[in-house]
Amino acid sequence: MHGPGLGHFLLQAYHCFRGRFGRVRRSAKAFPFGLPSTRFGPKPINPLVVIFPDMTIRNDVVEAIGNTPLIKLKQASELTGCTILGKAEFMNPGQSVKDRAGKWMILEAEKRGELKPGGLVVEATAGNTGIGLAVVASARGYRTLIVIPETQSQEKKDFLKLCGAELIEVPALPYANPNNYQHVGRRLADELRKTEPNGVLFADQWNNLDNAKAHYESTGPEIWEQTGGKVDGFVCSVGSGGTLAGVSRYLKEKNKNIRIACADPHGAGMYEYFRTGDPKATPGGSITEGIGLNRATAIVETAKVDDAYLIPDTDAVSAIYELLQHEGLCLGGSTGINVVGAMRLAKQLGPGKTIVTVLCDSGSRYLSKLFNADFMRAKNLPVPEWLEKRSNIKPPFV
């Protein structure tokens, strides 16, 4: 089939696709369906554009951030009788949900005139926000300086350097200590403002409302659109709180009956905060990185949360290993907390509901910890047999 016949066939395929799968974004650029008459008949249609309408060209890596798919988590869905969907944030250019915060914090700072070409972005971060900032800063012509606790995974530190960030490693100290990495980062930014001619942005993800704005303007609307508005619950852990705050506000505005829950690891304070108003740390600790807040920040105070769940590492780690072994998803520890939290909300709401959570980042960031049998044993956490399996098949050398 060729010529007008192919064009007609593909046009019919498009209408069939739209009728079966719901609304498809209409755009003159994405859908050249005007079919103007030409000497050789109707204008040809690109079948890839018809079937995959979002296959558009991005001008740079910054525009590639967001619009991640929802992935059905089969085992979690089967165990609960609900549809549990994971927002695949590990598919962002910097491989985590924090790319969105990095994008919004820098672009909004540009609008306010805080950064000029060659300016400096400074942040105190456990890793992923720094990577998101470094990716965006590099694409926009800025330098990045990251203050990071020395306890964070080597993979994160190495990737930050690959993204062009300069790292300052400091001891992991409580927030109350004046030498906590967040306080060091703020003081460093203040000092550098005195000498940097093109501006210094201290991103300050915990208090910068542009962080939550990123999820109010992108993640939340994407979830609503991708589910066709048929979402009954959303579950997320708290690092800076931007994802939970932004998504919860957006979804509650669309439907006040959507249930929002926080999933919190042991040793953090958000479980108690959302239940009692006091961000008191729960007993124990967690190997998860990037989550586990112990104070109510300006961002956290804007979150619209109905429930909170306390998730032990044993459950979270088991969920991560199951996702890798049975569903091909290699994800980080915070995702385990999220998935277990989503299952708890699903069981609370009952069968037939749709629950969305966040697949925060790639497990490749934690090979030396989460997927290191010796490290996990030292933490008294379960180690699956397959993690240490070695092949006994001998290569057929000649």
Same domain, 280 and 297: yes
Residue 8 lies in a domain: no
**Which residue in the block uniquely carries the two structure tokens 């933490």?**
379
390: in domain: no
- Confidence at residue 54, expressed as pLDDT on a 0 to 100 scale: 58
Q: Are 315 and 337 in contact (CB under 8 A)?
A: no
Same domain, 89 and 152: no
- Do 333 and 247 lie in one domain? The reply is yes
- Domain termination residue (choose one: 179, 202, 225): 202
Sign of the torsion formed by the C-alpha atoms of 387, 390, 396 and 398: positive
Half-sphere exposure of 147 (CA within 13 A, CB side): 22
For residue 122, what is the domain's CATH number? 3.40.50.1100
Co-location of 264 and 350 in the same domain = yes
Assess whether 247 and 173 both reside in one domain.
no
The structural domain count of the chain equals 2
The answer to whether the CB of 52 falls within 8 A of the CB of 15 is no
- 46 falls within a domain: no
Same domain as 303, residue 224:
yes
Does residue 38 belong to any structural domain of this protein?
no
pLDDT of residue 280: 96
How far, rounded to the nearest angstrom, does the alpha carbon of residue 100 sit from its chain's CA centroid?
8
Instruction: Give which of 101, 106, 123, 119 is closest to 202, Cα–Cα.
Output: 123
Do residues 221 and 250 share a domain? yes
Does the active-site annotation cover 98? yes
Q: Which residues, 6 or more positions from 394, have their beta carbon under 8 angstroms from its beta carbon?
A: none
Give the DSSP H or E segment for 127.
Answer: none
Degrees to nearest 5, angle at CA 167 with 174 and 149: 20
Mean residue pLDDT across the chain: 89
Within this chain, do residues 75 and 224 fall inside the same structural domain, yes or no? Answer: yes
pLDDT of residue 392: 92
In terms of Cα–Cα distance, which of 219, 226, 296 is closest to 250?
A: 219
196 within a domain of the structure (yes/no): yes
> Where a domain ends, among 172, 202, 232?
202
CA-to-CA distance for 334 and 320, rounded, in angstroms? Answer: 9
Q: What is the pLDDT of residue 136?
A: 98
Give phi and psi for 348, each to the nearest 5.
-70, -40
260 close to 234: Cβ distance less than 8 angstroms: yes
- Within this chain, do residues 89 and 226 fall inside the same structural domain, yes or no? yes
Query: For position 391, what pLDDT does the model report?
Result: 93
Same domain, 105 and 238: no
Distances (CA, A) of 335 to 84, 88, 90, 162, 344: 13, 10, 10, 24, 14
89 and 105 share one domain: no
Three-class SS state of 352: coil
pLDDT per residue of the chain (398 residues) written in tens, 0 to 9 = 444 444 444 444 444 434 433 443 333 333 333 333 333 344 444 444 444 455 589 999 999 999 999 999 999 999 999 999 999 999 999 999 999 999 999 999 999 999 999 999 999 998 899 999 999 999 999 999 999 999 988 999 999 999 999 999 999 999 999 999 999 999 999 999 999 999 999 999 999 999 999 999 999 999 999 999 999 999 999 999 999 999 999 999 999 999 999 999 999 999 999 999 999 999 999 999 999 999 999 999 999 999 999 999 999 999 999 999 999 999 999 999 999 999 999 999 999 999 999 999 999 999 999 999 999 999 999 999 999 999 999 999 99
DSSP 96: B
Looking at the structure, tell me whether residues 185 and 244 fall in a common domain: no
**Catalytic member of 87, 98, 157, 252:** 98
> Cβ(303)–Cβ(261) under 8 Å?
no
Residue 13 lies in a domain: no
Q: Which domain holds residue 120?
A: 98-202
- Domain for residue 191, yes or no? yes
- Residue pointed to by tokens 């999220």: 338
Nearest to 87 by CA among 252, 347, 331: 331
Closest CA to 237 of 277, 201, 304, 290: 290
Inside any domain, residue 344: yes
Domain boundary among 143, 170, 202: 202
Strands 37-38 and 41-42, sheet pairing: antiparallel
Burial per residue of 286-303, b for 16 or more beta-carbon CB atoms within 10 angstroms, e otherwise: bbbbbbbbbebbebbebb
Separation CA 259–CA 295 (nearest Å):
23
Cα-based angle 18, 23, 25 (whole degrees, multiple of 5): 100
Return all residues near 324 (Cβ < 8 A) that are at least 6 apart: 330, 331, 363
Enter the pTM of the model. Answer: 0.85
